[in-house]
Every structure is written in C-alpha cells, then in structure tokens.
Copies of this chain bind each other. A is one copy, B any other.
Amino acid sequence: GDTVFIADYLLERLAQLGVTQMFGVPGDFNLAFLDYVEDHPKINWVGNCNELNAAYAADGYARVKEGSIGVVTTTFGVGELSAMNGIAGAFSEQVPVLHIAGVPSTSQQKNKPMLHHTLGDGRFDAYFKASQQFTISQATLTDAASAGAEIDRILTDCVVTARPVYLMLPTDLVHTKIPAKRLRTPLNLDLPANDPDTEEFVLDEIMKLVDQANGDVVILVDACAIRHNVKSELADLLKKTGFPVYAAPMGKSVIPETYDRYGGIYIGSISRPEIKENVENAKLLLSVGGLKSDFNTGNFTYHTPTNRTIELHSDNTRVQFASYHGIGMKQLLPKLTARMQPLHLDASAISVPKFISPVPKEDNEIISHAWLWPRVGEFFRSKDVIIAETGTSSFGILETPLPGDAVFLSQILWGSIGWTIGSTLGAALAAREVGLKRTILFVGDGSTQVTVQELSVMMKMGVKPIIFLLNNRGYTVERFLHGQTAKYNDITNWRWTSLLTAFGGIEGETCQSYTVRTKTELDALLNTESFARADKIQFVEMIMEMHDAPKGLKAQAKLSGIPNKNISVGLNTDA
C-alpha cells in the first residue's frame, strides 16, 4: 500500500484538525522535521523569537480557532524547557496545544552519548518526565510500527480533553515511512457518551429542583463552557428558556454581552451589588463550566449555597451535594434544554440588570482606570478579538461590556505575565482565518518587558493588532497586593514608541506608535478613523498613574485582607 513519512503523517493529521500555523524555534534536533513543514502546502512555519513566546502564540491561536489546536515545535532540552511555562499555562487554562520536541535519534536515545542540550549525565528522559507534569498525554516515538497510533492517541486526547500533549519526535523517525492508510479515517474526537441511566436520573433530579424553584433559575457561565465547546448548546438553552445569565470573569464573552438577558460579571463579593444579589438570591443557580479559582471568584467569596446549586462540567455533574462522574455537559445540555423549554414564560418575568458601563465625567485629564475602561468599551466593534494581560488590565476590562460577537481572551487562572504578547500573535493569525476582525490588546509595561520581542514576529507575519500599553512605571497590580512603594515593583521606563521601529517596522508605513497623556488625546485617537481601521500594527503608550487601579482590583486587594499575609489565603474553597 502507499506509505508516508512520519513527518508528513503528523502534518497531515494536523491539517485535518484545521491547523494552518506552526509556532516554534528551529534547533538541530528538529531541522529535519522543519523541512517537511516548510514543504507542506497547508501548514505555515512561524519562526518565533523564543520558545516561551511560541508556546504562548500556540495557546492564543488555539483559543481563537475553536475546534482546532495550537502547535509549537521546539528542540531537545533547551527549547522544550523554555516552552514549559507556556505549556503548563495551557494545561491550567484548558487549551489544546500540541508540543512537538525534536529529539535525538532512536539509536542515540539508546546509547545516550553526551550530546549538546543534554544534562551531561546520560538522563535522556528528564525532559519527558518534567513534561508529564504539564501535559495530559505524552508520546515518545520509538519505532515505525507504533508511530501512527501514538500520534493519533495524543492528538485525540488533546482535542477531547482540551489540554496540552507532548510528542518526542526523534530525528531519524522523521523520514521513516509508515502506511498512509490510517490517515483515511479521521480521528474520532467524540466525547465519551454519558451513561443513559445516570443521565436520565440526573435530568430528573435537576428538573425537580427547577420545579421547586418556580423557574427562578439563574445561569452562570464560566471558563469551561468555552474550553469544552458548549457555546452553541448554551445559546440554545438560553434562547429556549429565557433564564437570566451572568458570567464569571473567565466566562466573559461566552454569552454575547449585548444579550438582553445577560446581566454582567459575577465575581462573588466584588460583583456589582445588583449582580451579587440576583445571583446569590436565585432559588436555583445553574453553573456551566465553573472554575472556582481565587481571581475568578473574588477570592472565594461566592455566597451560593450548595443546596441551591447545580454544576455542569465537561466530565461530571453536581446536583446539590451529589456528584455524578462521567456525566458531561456537552451531551447533557441539549436534553436539559428540551425539558426546560416550557419554562420560558416564568423565566422571562425575572428581571436582569442592564450590563452597561457609561463613561464617567471626571474633571481632570488623567487617563484613569475609572475612565479608561468604559471609554475603550465605546471603541470596540463587532468581531473584535480583545485580549487583556494579567495586571490592572485583566481587572479593568471585566467591567466593560464587549460587542456581542467579540472574542475575549485573558489568563485569569494561570496569570503568567507576558502571555498576551505571544498569544496576541497567535490570536491575530487565527482571527484572520475565522473571519474575526481587529485584535486589540491591553497590556502593562511590566508584562510587555517579559516577552516584547514577539512584536517583531507580528510584523513579520503581517498581523495588525492595536496594542494599548498601560505605562504606570511598574507592577501596579502588585503594589495593590503588597509593596505599594517597594523598589522591587518599579521597572525601568522604555522608549515604548521606538520599539516597533527598533524591531524592523517602518513608522507610518508598516507600523505606527503613539503616546497619549490625557483623556483628550486618547479620545481623539480613538475617534480617528484611520486608527480604528487598524490597517497596520499600532502601539499606543498610555501614560497612567502609578497608584491607580480598577475598582475590581482594589476590592480584590481589600478582600485579601492584610496585604502580604493573607493574599489569596482561600478560606472558602470548595473547588
């Protein structure tokens, strides 16, 4: 029968999954493989500046290109370990990313010569062992016979669990041939089926509670509703029931924020009062894809009693105090919707506060957080991809309603600064493909310094994000948690508007940078059509106060109690 090189087998599988971009950095243990990538008609090699940024880009790509995966290719040891934080972040935040490490040949793996990029003590499995901590499945290809099945196994796990997987690809196997036959059967990406009896029982239990609640049901959507792909099932449930719906920070934008039964962000004690009241006083709370991390719950301050809560997760369901393992929401939701449909009338009687955020009048020209976030809210447009970095940005953006079909990315659980510079690259590439429009990033000065070089790759790839840099001279989010005036929270100030040209851009032609110091200046810029059109990469340095922060961050800091000791002590952790 016909055969195919293992490299091409892998690439073909990736193409089947809709992968069009591969991120990474070359190294002598992956160069042979990269020849195949370079020759592949459907997959483009994006050379990144470094491996961490590449992993972040793969993560951002996967988040925007729903249903596909992100791919990052690195070289043995030095490359793969550099990517590790990015991979761990994808694990934590449940993003499907394939990490391909080009490794020494199968015979070298056996003989263990003291190659460069080794630890010098013959342990060729150390990187594999480390990566086991941060990936859901791993494969180390050892021979032609099992290669195809191994590749299929981890790719399936990657998609089904929405978690990163790791593949060790030895230099010699790259051009070893295997039968092409498997490729004709697409990967089976079906989720494991819910056990029908259990599922039926769970549906009955839920409906009992719904009945008792007289239709006073509130839906709270969270991270895993995106990650495990139940957006449309959820939309259906909402449409057919009319239940009020709120989102946790990590669930922001899963439900169009313009939807008239959507009330905004619930974040425990630091929610807007009317939201807190409506969510916590509902007779029944149906949580979809909940992920109760500290920053996603207002430091564990949900007041949502378990006996009034139903939780739908990707692979289990909880009804009050009972857990039902193996009952996943993807299959459960449509059945639930069917049963609940008649409730529409009752539900629509429940009022939902409007989620709006008017621009406040302030009698000064300082670009304050209180003013900034509502103001940029007016700048957003349909089909924008909006990305907020960990820091004051990730707190500030939460209160800004986004356009209904906007996509929102943030990393609220993992919270690794610098992530957005990489993920913006990946997100912008994916956005181009899936018909989204502008990519708009809000990022702090401290975070930008972590991964700044990837701006150059954005220009190389011709993506045109608008990057709003919050220049507040350091790590402001940390100042609010600890060390308000400590020197370790200061950073050096850069000439931010020189960065794009230093990285090879041509000012006014391929890139444009701005500094804005006042409300009036920012306002004018946002109102400029040529700016809003985003037809080149744009970098906007916004001069802000060192000790200003969004309301949500201040509240979070207060909740943490005595700064320094109790930050995220997590008393109320039932997760």
Contact residues of A: prevailing secondary structure: loop
The residues in A between 483 and 499 inclusive whose CB is less than 8 angstroms from any CB of B are: 483, 486-495, 498-499
A361 part of interface (Cβ distance < 8 Å): no
* B38/A108 in contact, CB under 8 A: no
A133 within 8 Å of B (CB atoms): yes
A395 to chain B minimum Cβ distance, whole angstroms, is 12
Task: For chain A, residues 516 to 559, give those with C-beta under 8 angstroms from any C-beta of chain B.
Answer: none
Q: Mark A50-74, 1 if CB is under 8 A from B, else 0.
A: 1010000000000000000000000
Residues on B with C-beta less than 8 A from A570 are 108, 111, 113-115
A561 contacts chain B at the CB level, 8 A cutoff: no
A 54-105 contacts with B by CB, 8 A: 77-78, 81-82, 84-85, 88-89, 91-94, 104-105
A300 to B115, CA, bound (A): 10
B49 contacts A52, C-beta separation under 8 Å:
no
Contact with B along A440-465 (1 / 0, CB 8 A): 00000000011111001101100000
Cα-based distance from A200 to B264 in the complex (angstroms): 80
Smallest CB-CB separation from A498: which chain B residue? B502
B113 touches A456 (CB 8 A): no
Option from B38, B452, B493 in Cβ contact (under 8 Å) with A487: B38
Minimal Cβ-Cβ distance residue in B for A32: B564
Chain B residues near A113 (CB-CB < 8 A): 294, 300, 568-570, 573, 575
With known contacts A35-B486, A115-B570, A481-B28, A502–B492 Cβ distance under 8 A? no
Q: A575: which of B26, B81, B114 is its contact (CB, 8 Å)?
A: B114
A130 contacts partner chain B, Cβ-Cβ < 8 Å: yes
Q: Which residues of B contact A140 (CB under 8 A)?
A: none
Known: A50-B418, A565-B172. A492 touches B116 (CB 8 A): no
Q: Give 1 or 0 for each of A15-48: 1 = CB within 8 Å of chain B CB.
A: 0000000000111100110110110000001010
Tell me how far the C-beta of A157 lies from the nearest C-beta in chain B, rounded to whole angstroms.
Answer: 15
Cross-chain contact B45 with A488 (CB below 8 angstroms): yes
Answer yes or no: A293 CB below 8 A from chain B CBs. yes
Q: Does A292 contact B (CB under 8 A)?
A: yes
Q: Which one of B85, B107, B171, B291 lies within 8 Å of A81 (CB-CB)?
A: B85
A305 within 8 A of B: no
Stretch at the interface among A118-126, A228-236, A429-437: A118-126
Closest to A117 in B: B415
Residues in B with CB closer than 8 Å to A481 are 28, 31
Smallest Cβ-Cβ distance to A133: which chain B residue: B126
CA distance A28 to B47 in the complex (A): 33
Q: Are B31 and A482 in contact (CB under 8 A)?
A: yes
Known A-B contacts A50-B451, A120-B291, A294-B116; the reply to A494 vs B488 at CB < 8 A is: no
Whether A413 contacts B82 by the Cβ 8 Å rule is no
A453 contact set on B, CB distance < 8 A: 449-450, 452-453
- Whether the Cβ atoms of B569 and A108 lie closer than 8 Å is yes
Beyond known contacts A31-B478, A45-B488: 10 more, CB 8 A cutoff: A26-B475, A26-B478, A28-B481, A52-B52, A78-B417, A113-B294, A116-B568, A126-B134, A456-B492, A456-B494
Nearest 10 interchain pairs by C-beta? A113-B570, A113-B573, A78-B416, A81-B85, A498-B502, A31-B482, A502-B502, A130-B130, A126-B133, A50-B450
Residue positions of A touching B, CB distance < 8 A: 25-28, 31-32, 34-35, 37-38, 45, 47, 49-50, 52, 77-78, 81-82, 84-85, 88-89, 91-94, 104-105, 107-108, 111-120, 123, 126-127, 129-130, 133-134, 171-172, 291-295, 300, 412-418, 449-453, 456-457, 459-460, 475, 478, 481-483, 486-495, 498-499, 501-504, 564-565, 567-570, 573, 575
Q: List 17 A-B contacts (CB under 8 A).
A: A31-B486, A35-B483, A35-B486, A38-B487, A38-B488, A77-B416, A78-B88, A88-B119, A111-B570, A113-B294, A114-B570, A116-B412, A116-B413, A118-B413, A130-B134, A492-B504, A502-B502
